[in-house]
Amino acid sequence: MFDMSTIVLFILAALLALYALKRSPAVARQGTTLSVERFFAVLPRMGLAILAAGFVSKLVPSEPIAHHIGPDSGIYGILLASLVGCFIPSGPSVSFPVVVVLLQAGAGIPQVIAFLTAWSIVALHRVLIYEIPLMGWRFCLVRVISALPLAPLSGGLADLLIRFFPLV
């Protein structure tokens, strides 16, 4: 019923709650209140995102995904996944279910890692909405150019880890 990550998160939450209680019952109450509020704020989004991912996984044809970003697509698939990841304008409640769908449709792990790295580090939608207006073109250009190689590098490193350390 529970996987290891759920058990680890439960233990971490319990230890943090005990530490907060030790510091002060008021801190523990505030932490509990904030945690419950955030839980119920995120729960509908995650539920709907997972529901949508279930439908998308059945509607998306797996052949093109496996061909273009499958485990055998190599550096081409890593570069393509990196490029696509730069342009996905969403938060984690959408992107991670998309990643689940990609994996179920036959995408390779290195390619998905490149996708996630590009989505989280480059994120061109954030550049346009937040970074350029707040920090200017020069800063953003330097940041994006310096970050671009990280996604393919992470995909390549993931590929090496999988090849040479199959248990990782």
Encode pLDDT of 24-80 as tens digits. Answer: 999 889 989 998 998 888 888 778 877 777 777 677 677 888 889 999 999 999 999
Q: How confident is the model at residue 137 (pLDDT cuts 50, 70, 90)?
A: very high
Q: Report CA 99 to chain centroid distance, whole Å.
A: 7
Model pLDDT, residue 88: 86
- pLDDT of 168 > 70? The answer is no
Helices (H), the chain: 4-23, 25-59, 62-69, 74-86, 92-104, 109-121, 124-126, 132-135, 137-147, 150-164
Cα–Cα distance measured from residue 85 to residue 4, given in angstroms and rounded to the nearest whole number: 28
* SS3 at position 18: helix
Cα Rg of the chain, angstroms: 19
Model pLDDT, residue 44: 84
Instruction: For 6-39, give one letter per residue: b (16+ CB within 10 A) or e.
Output: eeeeeeeeeeeeeebeeeeeeebeebeeeeeeee
Model pLDDT, residue 136: 92
Q: Provide the angle, in degrees to the nearest 10, between the axes of the packed helices 4-23 and 25-59.
A: 160
pTM for this model (two decimals): 0.73
Query: 10 Å Cβ neighbour count for 105?
Result: 19
Cα–Cα distance measured from residue 53 to residue 62, given in angstroms and rounded to the nearest whole number: 14
Model pLDDT, residue 1: 63
- pLDDT of 120 > 90? The answer is yes
Q: Is 21 left (phi over 0), alpha (psi -120 to 50) or beta?
A: alpha
> Which percentage of the chain shows pLDDT scores above 70?
96
